[in-house]
Structure 1
């Protein structure tokens, strides 16, 4: 099968690496390349799960080539809910000949292409949503330490998740929602002698919830 990729498009390997860089913004290229064993599989599966979600939600689309008909053709969104979606994602190939899968070994599959610009736009939008707004009160003067120790708060929150489970309606009262996480962060801030407003805590609570959910997958 030809390895040619049309200009402006990407194949699954490059797409997954782009998503991994998005999910692991603090990792250098060398650190990413040195991932081994279970950690490498976990990071890869995490990126593939996000790609699957974006495709099913219609945030981005996959395309395959129909040379006899219309050239590059969008894969139907409903396909990403089918039992064949996982194999197509991992292999980077689409079966355009219908549900008769017992013929797969005798008929060719088509490589899946993704629009590079569409992927960049979606990841940039997600990054903006995950990044809390700058707080004017966060720094007391130029070069000063951040007022709230967010890395320590996130580490404490993740430890709490490992102990109490993920905040959800199925959990105990007081550990069921983003509002409960906001209150938890405010308690941590109070231990530091700080007053943490709801408006400052909410974006961080949302980001911590999303990261914990990704780690759980």
Structure 2
């Protein structure tokens, strides 16, 4: 990771450290990601990329250091607070609701949609149309009534990304978006990232190396 000049719009860490017992997973990470760009975090398995993401997004608390976003400290904040600040993320292993349909997965991602209402068949028309729009954008709108467990792994990655986009984040962190995905869908993800970046979204993605880089 290369440190760059810190500005108020950037996501930055300063001397961020996380240990698990005697293992230091993230060791004094100081890095600033460029706002409005596609940024990469590259390293082999076990190098701490996912732990870094977890620390930034509030999934776990760093032992020390500082994390700032748009000039404000976010370290130690709960995940929902960080999400509302404008940071969305995907996970290395997809986090979806396997027995819910593709469309239902996106509606659950919206804070104003209660799970109980969704399961009873009650849907907000505006949210439903917005969800369908994102499904069209990622290329799986034809699968909206399919249970998520019946999607290929690459399609599940696209579904998870669509769910992130439902939250309208300014910065999107993608944990190994190309991992386990066939080349055709990798190309679709990469194209979508470039398009959304051109529309103003900032991306931070992890990869094992330049060979499997997705950006």
Measured against the shorter chain, the TM-score band is: under 0.3
Q: Which has more radius of gyration?
A: 1
Structure with a larger share of its residues in helix = 1
TM-score (norm 1): 0.24
